[in-house]
A = this chain, B = another copy of it.
Amino acid sequence: MASQLGRLSVGPCWRVARGGCGGLRAWSQCGGGGGLRAWSQHSGARRICRPPGPAGTEQSRGLGHGPTARGGPWLGTGLAAALAGLVGLAAAALGHVQRAEMLPKSSGTRAPSLGRSEEEDELARRCGSFMAPPVTDLGELRRRPGDMKTKMELLILETQAQVCQALAQVDGGASFSVDRWERKEGGGGISCVLQDGCVFEKAGVSISVVHGNLSEEAAKQMRSRGKVLKTKDGNKQWWFGGGCDLTPTYLNQEDAVHFHRTLKEACDQHGPELYPKFKKWCDDYFFIAHRGERRGIGGIFFDDLDSPSKEEVFRFVQSCAKAVVPSYIPLVKKHCDDSFTPQEKLWQQLRRGRYVEFNLLYDRGTKFGLFTPGSRIESILMSLPLTARWEYMHSPSENSKEAEILEVLRHPRDWVC
């Protein structure tokens, strides 16, 4: 499963320096794109079946076998659960220095201070449940409690902690390594990775909160998305993006319905048109063009959301964030003890190869990150599976379980009405 929940882009009006617009660039940017944003990226959360033993051995790596009527191994390949949030901060179209002045680096504010208000205590309490202290200084967050950037950062940190907790719990024993990192160009992130667990081979849940100037490559990508932010009228521009999708090795109709229904219910709270629209967007986005197939069985994907209002879109993203754990964890619990054959494991590996192809060739976030100076490569590429395989001219036999899911990847289905 992969989730990109809560990508917020908020920024002042500005211009891209090149491309005929002139002016200074003062984008907030991240590994995955430009603009002031908070989003979540996918990563590998993959199942292994093996007897208790030292971590790091390879012999018993596996894939789950589904006990349902449609049966077959299921949770193997692309079950990736992750959340990477990026909240960028930019002040005005006056470049990096100006921004730094407007968002001064305060210090010592993470320790409890005397005379804090109740609101501040509440903030400290929330932060206590996170995987690591927020990227933005606590004092800064306190100074702007109602600000969308604050709300978004707290939401993604909270969601990261919830997802990590759920994954660690279902894994049974493994714990996440937590890396809190800073980006010298502005901002930072928290990368949580579980490797060699009892259930998960690799699971990553990352967030980042970044700001700074946009690289030319990133600016080009923004322009290609129609995001030319103007400085002229001084109005702020903002938008949200996110998503949540599933990449099973084999098709399990019941599970696909559960996954999509959970996401649909989250969407439906905010409008009946949202799920169908974002379901289609997801199918279109995760398309491996050169293969003529999708990466997985979809979910929801959205970007450039800027209506009806910041608050309303935020509430929608909140609902989606809440849906991540219930959409996915039940499937892990259901299948984590399934057995599997070597042939099924091989197919899983081949599908993971396709996952790699998509992520390196097409994924906007991955490409943005890799070509952005100062981004943290390990956090971006943690989305790649532990192992993958490519065979020349592999083609599943007719009426096989492999052919069954390929058919769905080639012709996406509607799972819920």
Contact = CB atoms under 8 A, between A and B. Distances in A.
Which of A57, A367, A382, A387 counts the most B-chain CB atoms under 10 A from its CB? A387
A115 to B, nearest CB: 41
A393 B195 CA distance: 11
Contacts of A381: 357, 390
Nearest to A353: B384
A193 interface: yes
A346 B196 CA distance: 14
A411 B231 CA distance: 44
A204 B390 CA distance: 13
A385 interface: yes
Contacts of A388: 356, 387-390
A57 B342 CA distance: 9
A195 to B, nearest CB: 6
Contacts of A57: 342
Nearest to A383: B390
A342 B360 CA distance: 28
Interface in A164-219: 177, 179, 193, 195, 202, 204
A392 B387 contact: no
A385 B393 contact: no
A47 to B, nearest CB: 17
Interface of A is mostly: mixed
Nearest to A57: B342
A301 B17 CA distance: 35
A89 to B, nearest CB: 24
A119 interface: no
Interface in A357-378: 357, 360-361, 367, 370-371, 377-378
Interface in A373-417: 377-378, 381-382, 384-393
A381 B391 CA distance: 9
B391 A389 contact: no
Contacts of A391: 195, 386
A225 interface: no
12 contacts: A58-B342, A58-B346, A177-B392, A177-B393, A193-B392, A360-B360, A361-B370, A382-B390, A382-B392, A386-B389, A387-B389, A388-B390
The 8 closest A-B pairs by CB, nearest first: A360-B360, A384-B390, A290-B370, A193-B392, A382-B392, A387-B389, A290-B377, A378-B393
Interface of A: 57-58, 177, 179, 193, 195, 202, 204, 289-291, 342, 346, 349, 353, 356-357, 360-361, 367, 370-371, 377-378, 381-382, 384-393
